[in-house]
Amino acid sequence: MFDWEEPKIDDEPRGHPGVSVIKVGDLKRVRESERIPMPKILLVEDNEMNRDMLSRRLLRHGFEVLIAIDGMQGLEMAHSEAPDLILMDMSLPEIDGWEATRRLKADPATQPIPIIALTAHAMVSDKEKAMRAGCNDYDSKPVDLKRLLSKISGQLGVTRAE
């Protein structure tokens, strides 16, 4: 379930009274100091090389990362692990990412979990197809980490540190 609270940073005035803006870097520091776990990301990806590279980079940014290697395992882990966000490769064995997304969004238990689609196809129609399946956002591979982190932050309600 998406139930973590944004910590407040009281010693960093931002110039927008009443609006608290937390960057990913700050978030990691504050959460560590308060012993709050970082957001848990479920990465559903069948390609071992993509999986290893992306999971390592997300870990380096402080996220907790869980890995599923096909659509069926992705569905199971979305239920058993209650991740804060799912990065969903679309081209997957067993159940593809579109079908897995449709099932997750049709289930009240997993519907609130934001899903960002990842596909090697950079065509507009692929983006539309992913959004129609219920994905909350979309990014194309190869992954541009800065761009992806900003989309992750957007879905988690935080902004990315520059």
Q: Does 139 engage in binding with Mn ion (CB under 5 A)?
A: no
x/- mask, Mn ion, residues 6-45, rule CB under 5 A, reads ----------------------------------------
Q: Does 46 engage in binding with Mn ion (CB under 5 A)?
A: yes
Q: Does 91 engage in binding with Mn ion (CB under 5 A)?
A: yes
Smallest distance from Mn ion to CB 62, Å: 26
| CA within 13 Å, CB half, 119 | 22
User: What's the gap between Cα 57 and its chain centre?
Assistant: 13
Residue in 97, 84, 95, 109 with CA at minimum distance from that of residue 134: 97
Q: Which is nearer to Mn ion, 39 or 71 (CB)?
A: 71
d(CA 56, CA 111): 27
d(CA 54, CA 42): 11
- The count of residues interacting with Mn ion (CB under 5 A) is 3
Applying CB under 5 A, which of residues 89, 139, 141, 160 lies at the interface with Mn ion? 89
